[in-house]
Amino acid sequence: MRGKQLQPVDLGLTRRQLLKAASAAALVWQGAPWLRGPRPASGQTLPGDPLTVSTLEAFADTLIPGEKRSPLDRAIAGAVTGPGAVQAGALDTLNFPAAGTGPLLPTFAAGLNARATAYAATNGILLDPTVTPLVSLDFAQRSDLLVQLLDGTDPDQIVWFALAGLVFIAYHTAAHLHLADAVRGGHPGLAALRFPAPDADDLYRHPAFSYGRMLARRHPRTRRGSPA
């Protein structure tokens, strides 16, 4: 969709189907029992722990890959050119208070690294001890692992689908940002989708009919076109 040659992780689903399924999991997540109880009232909760951050970045980059930020970047595999999920704010969305995942991100990162360690042991892969297990895997190995986590058979699939859903939402909608600011700021996902810019006052008025003609008459009792 952004002119990249790399194919997305193949789960037997189209990207649209995966986005819908992952988004649904993110919604189901909101009612999950492990989120019941006190939550931070506001602000971000992602710790400054580089191990957690790099693991989550590697997870996001495997779903929607991007280019390395520097030659020393290990979290982003650099499988393609151009910005990916990490540059689109995946971690900001994972840490967005409304998502409810922020306090548990270190636990999720630990779970991903445990799965990566088991994957490496099963496949005879020697991990680099200077980085987290998931970051130590190359892009093909990360992709293979995520297929196993997201193919519908993993016992913790709701966790992985919820996290994946937030990554896709970050890239496709810039959910953690004001839409007008995201579009004008060149958010990579919205730019790839060619999302239109708003009017000068940040509103979208859509002066032209998307089908080239009016499909229904404006309701006389509303200024917005709908009696609701």
**Residue 5 vs residue 121, higher pLDDT:** 121
Alpha helix (H) ranges present in 64-178?
90-94, 105-122, 133-136, 139-150, 157-173
For the record, the structure tokens of 53 come out as: 């951050």
Q: What distance in Å separates the CA atoms of residue 19 and residue 50, rounded to the nearest whole number? A: 28
Instruction: Dump pLDDT digits (tens) for 96-109.
Output: 887 778 888 999 99
Dihedral Cα 172, 178, 181, 187, nearest 10 deg: -20
Question: What is the arithmetic mean of pLDDT over 53-60?
Answer: 96
For the record, the structure tokens of 165 come out as: 């859903």
Q: What distance in Å separates the CA atoms of residue 93 and residue 101, rounded to the nearest whole number? A: 9
Instruction: Dump pLDDT digits (tens) for 93-141.
Output: 998 887 778 888 999 999 999 999 999 999 999 999 999 999 999 999 9
For residue 50, the surrounding DSSP H or E stretch is helix 50-63
Q: How many helices (H) and strands (E) does the chain have?
A: 9, 0
Domain boundaries, the chain: 16-192
Q: What pTM was estimated for this model as a whole?
A: 0.75
Distances 17 to 20, 134, 206, 222 between C-alpha atoms, Å: 5, 26, 27, 35
Range name among 38-47, 119-128, 167-176 with the lowest pLDDT average: 38-47
